[in-house]
A and B are shown apart, each in its own frame.
Chain A
């Protein structure tokens, strides 16, 4: 297996593994497997970074090159930092 292939392979993982591997980071992953409810279960990490704009930029470029790809973009950690409370309600 070439080093590039090994590296690629190593970035294929379950979504739950991405959450523990890339703690408190934004992830863009190409969806490879879903469950019965069409929820992503595993994928290939395309980009990961604590910086959201960086991940979105990579995702945008990837989708331009692979327009039929299905990506899952998410934050691995708590969406609201400890010690912060959000009042999200709006009517």
Chain B
């Protein structure tokens, strides 16, 4: 596994960064959202991968506007980004409005595992593995 990875993405909608993310062997384009605590996946993506949603496992979501709602919560066995493999990633499943053409959001529960740099001018996400503290 690399110690660092420079991932080519693309900028859209005035500066949002979209990055390819592999979920259980298939690639999708996710929005980088440092304001999201959790990673989110679309219902279509989950259905494609055959991941079953346990209705008893949910998380209460308080959006920036509107009422709080419960969203299914699950664990992704294998998420890969830029050559890094992340096992057992917690994610919520959202029904994105059809007007939003996205399949997922990469939130801070994934991003905080790295020293992260967003190159807004070149549309790259650079992830560096955080070294364990030396004792």
Contacts and interface: CB of A to CB of B under 8 A. Distances in A.
Interface of A: 26, 31, 35-40, 52-53, 56, 59-60, 63, 70-75, 77-81, 84, 86-91
14 contacts: A37-B7, A38-B80, A39-B7, A39-B20, A39-B82, A40-B27, A52-B101, A60-B47, A63-B48, A72-B27, A74-B103, A79-B16, A88-B31, A90-B62
Interface size class of B (residues with CB under 8 A): 35 or more
A35 B8 contact: yes
Contacts, number: 103
6 pairs of A and B residues whose beta carbons are closest in the complex? A89-B35, A75-B101, A72-B27, A74-B29, A87-B64, A37-B82
Contact of B12 (A70, A80, A84, A87): A80
A36 B103 CA distance: 24
A88 B17 CA distance: 13
Nearest to A81: B99
Contact of A89 (B18, B27, B33, B44): B33
B79 to A, nearest CB: 12
B36 interface: yes
B114 interface: no
